[in-house]
Structure 1
Amino acid sequence: MTDTLHSVAPTARAGMEPAVRRALRANRLLAPVADHMPAILAIAGCVMLWQLVVWAFSVPTFMAPSPIAVLSAFRENGVILWNNLLPTLLEAAMGFVSGNLVAILLAVWFVYSPLAERAFYPIAVIIKSIPIIALAPILVLLVGNGIAPKIIIAGLISFFPTLVNMVQGLKSASPAMLDLMRVLSASNAEIFWKVRLPASLPFLFAALKIAATSSVMGAIVAEWIGSSYGLGALIIEATYNFRSPLLYATVVIAAALAVILFFVVAIVEKKVVRWKPGNHG
């Protein structure tokens, strides 16, 4: 009898393993949905309220189309939306990469050269204080009406948050760790890669998440100034032609693009950053 039980048990366990694996896989897939369920429900509630208000007060479509009308605009103008999404995505991505790369390099320079920080940091603040909508036509005059001014605007709007956070992050390295590395005769490069850079990563990714959404806004604002393509140009065209469903659909696409870029940075952050400020030591 014992031999029979021993022969059956492995077979039963083998039969259960696929079910257990499926259950674990389902849990991993459902966990993110459960985490974001409050936000999903809140958004669904807002959309339902929007639809009810439009129905109840008979709001004209040219003023505020219903969610159903916006969905119809997605279906009827899918090709137009897609063709204008790609240029904005390219501009935002290139501006995000270039602006943040320059900000990171400047932050490293400022940390290792206090004189450079005192000289050039105020200039960065002055540039940040100029409204983007005012810079756009100046850049169009300087570099033309192609893709260049859009990338520059997206880069500028991504630049300042990363510069500020990266400088703060590089300076947040533990003084005890810095002293220990110096006692061990570590070079500046070793101190940077092993102490300063790891300490700065939480600050950097906090800025990158802001820059990811801001770069989309910068690209769209730049497209308002004399562009014939992109989501920004489509917003202007839909507004002037009173195509409110298309206007709302374009705004939804722009917001979705910004959210996607935000979550891409957040996913990379989870892979790279293993600690948060205040959770170490």
Structure 2
Amino acid sequence: MSVTATRNRARAKSGVPFGRLLIPFAGAALVIALWELTVRVFAVPIYLVPAPSDVWTALVENRQILIDNLWPTATEAFLGFLLGNGVAILLAVCFVYSDLVYRAFYPVSVALRTIPIIAVAPVFVIMFGNGISSKVLIAALICFFPTLVNMVVGLKSVDPQTIELMKVLSARPWEIFFKARWYAALPFLFSSLEIAATSCVLGAIVAEWIGSEKGLGNLIIQATYDFRTPFLYAAMAVSSALAVAGVLLIALLKRLVVRWK
């Protein structure tokens, strides 16, 4: 009986309680209800702040337009996510294994981070045009630095005694990397990927603000100029949903991969 009780407690801890899932939805519902009530009670003009019901109407009426422009932004964000994080991981490995490379190029990476993305975006558009290339590069740049920093910290966080033990046991360099360093860096990596999942969407939208003919960023700019505020909020809601979907996907992968956490 004690063994069964222990297993049941372990299963309960490993699962996600229903209450923990219900609380965020209840909080969001409360915010939306207060928003609706405030707009209706104070008769706020729709061109200033639309009510959630007006945003929902715009979302339903323009769903096809939003879906058609969702895919370009999602594609740009996904490719930028892969490129930015891939380069960051490779560079982090170089930093860990070469102190000279670290001292030479890590300050450059920090300097790139200090440049506002809204200032870099026009430069990329001038260099690479209004096509998908500039959007992907901007999305990659904005999610590059968090992954780089976290991976460097994660790869260095392995216990030095573990490294020495593996060397004594004649472990090869690639075995030390994948069975010690990479294992220790995985929690840091997934934490940075959760940040990058939202950052890449932001980067793609900012790039579309600078110059594009399609995408959610383009819809946001058009709706702003035309004072179509409910449609503007609907486009922002779709953008937010895209970013949240990315975060949830990374969280699911983290739960499956980093099982010891």
Assess same fold via TM > 0.5: yes
Q: CA deviation at 1:186?
A: 1.2
Question: SS at 2:143's partner residue?
Answer: helix
Q: Structure 1 residue 267 and structure 2 residue 261: aligned?
A: no
Q: CA deviation at 1:31?
A: 5.1
1:167 alignment counterpart: 152
| Structure 2 residue corresponding to 1:43, chosen from 28, 32, 38 | 28
2:81 alignment counterpart: 96
1:131 alignment counterpart: 116
1:188 alignment counterpart: 173
1:147 alignment counterpart: 132
1:19 alignment counterpart: none
2:51 alignment counterpart: 66
Q: CA deviation at 1:36?
A: 1.8
Q: CA deviation at 1:96?
A: 0.2
Once superposed, what is the RMSD of the aligned Cα atoms?
1.3
Q: 1:241 & 1:274 partners in 2: Cα distance?
A: 49
Q: 1:206 & 1:33 partners in 2: Cα distance?
A: 24
Q: 1:125 & 1:82 partners in 2: Cα distance?
A: 37
Q: Structure 1 residue 206 and structure 2 residue 191: aligned?
A: yes
Q: 2:16 & 2:123 partners in 1: Cα distance?
A: 48
Q: CA deviation at 1:275?
A: 2.5
Q: CA deviation at 1:33?
A: 4.6
% of aligned pairs identical?
A: 54
Q: How many residues align?
A: 248
Q: What amino acid does structure 2 have at the position aligned with 1:245?
A: P
Q: Which runs of 5+ in 2 are unaligned?
A: 1-11
Q: 2:32 & 2:250 partners in 1: Cα distance?
A: 27
Cα pair distance change 1:32/1:221, threshold 3 Å: farther
Q: Structure 1 residue 237 and structure 2 residue 222: aligned?
A: yes
Q: 2:148 & 2:94 partners in 1: Cα distance?
A: 11
Q: 1:228 & 1:186 partners in 2: Cα distance?
A: 54
Q: Structure 1 residue 178 and structure 2 residue 191: aligned?
A: no
| Structure 2 residue corresponding to 1:117, chosen from 102, 109, 119 | 102
2:8 alignment counterpart: none
Q: What does 1:9-24 correspond to in 2, within 5 Å?
A: none
Q: CA deviation at 1:32?
A: 6.0
Question: SS at 2:246's partner residue?
Answer: helix
| TM-score with structure 1 setting the length | 0.86
Larger Rg: 1
| Structure 2 residue corresponding to 1:34, chosen from 4, 10, 19 | 19
Q: Which runs of 5+ in 1 are unaligned?
A: 1-26, 277-281
Q: 1:221 & 1:254 partners in 2: Cα distance?
A: 12
Cα pair distance change 1:107/1:240, threshold 3 Å: same
Cα pair distance change 1:171/1:150, threshold 3 Å: same
Cα pair distance change 1:102/1:53, threshold 3 Å: same
Q: Structure 1 residue 83 and structure 2 residue 50: aligned?
A: no
| Structure 1 residue corresponding to 2:212, chosen from 227, 246, 256 | 227
Q: What amino acid does structure 2 have at the position aligned with 1:111?
A: V
Q: 1:35 & 1:149 partners in 2: Cα distance?
A: 40
Cα pair distance change 1:32/1:129, threshold 3 Å: same
Question: SS at 1:256's partner residue?
Answer: helix
| TM-score with structure 2 setting the length | 0.93
Q: CA deviation at 1:187?
A: 1.5
Cα pair distance change 1:32/1:84, threshold 3 Å: farther
Q: CA deviation at 1:274?
A: 2.0
Q: Structure 1 residue 156 and structure 2 residue 172: aligned?
A: no
